[in-house]
């Protein structure tokens, strides 16, 4: 009775499987490097236009950021609580 798996067929099957893995992983590796152009780092390439941030990760514009004037609003409930706490514990340094 002949052996079902010979050493030669196992080696050939292994090499075919390894080649299949390498070939299937190639496009994914190329996509992560931005096209795989040799010698050009993705972030340092100045010829490409600036891309917009993905939805959900957008940076606010200057007009969407609260001004510093509103940060110290005395009518803010949190600022009122902080002022009351400061009056209660005058001798303790809260920032230390």
**pTM (global) more than 0.95:** no
Q: State the pLDDT at residue 1.
A: 45
| Residue 20 located in a structural domain | yes
| Residue 83 located in a structural domain | no
Distance linking the first and last C-alpha atoms of the chain = 85
Structural domain tally of the chain? 1
User: Who wins on pLDDT, 33 or 8?
Assistant: 8
Query: In the Cβ-directed half-sphere of 90, how many Cα atoms lie within 13 Å?
Result: 1
Lowest mean pLDDT among 2-11, 23-32, 71-80: 2-11
SS3 category, 47? coil
| Residue 38 located in a structural domain | no
Question: Region 33-55: what's the mean pLDDT?
Answer: 62
Q: State the pLDDT at residue 53.
A: 65
Domain that holds residue 5: 1-33
Q: State the pLDDT at residue 95.
A: 65
* Res 50 pLDDT > 70: yes
| Residue 79 located in a structural domain | no
């Amino acid at each position: 009775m002949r052996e079902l798996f010979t050493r030669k067929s196992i080696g050939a099957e292994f090499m075919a499987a390894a080649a299949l893995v390498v070939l299937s992983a190639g496009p994914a590796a190329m996509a992560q490097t931005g096209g795989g152009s040799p010698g050009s780092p993705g972030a340092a390439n100045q010829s490409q236009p600036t891309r917009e941030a993905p939805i959900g990760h957008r940076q606010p514009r200057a007009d969407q950021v609260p001004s510093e004037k509103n940060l110290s609003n005395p009518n803010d409930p949190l600022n009122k609580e902080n002022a009351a706490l400061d009056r209660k514990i005058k001798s303790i340094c809260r920032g230390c």
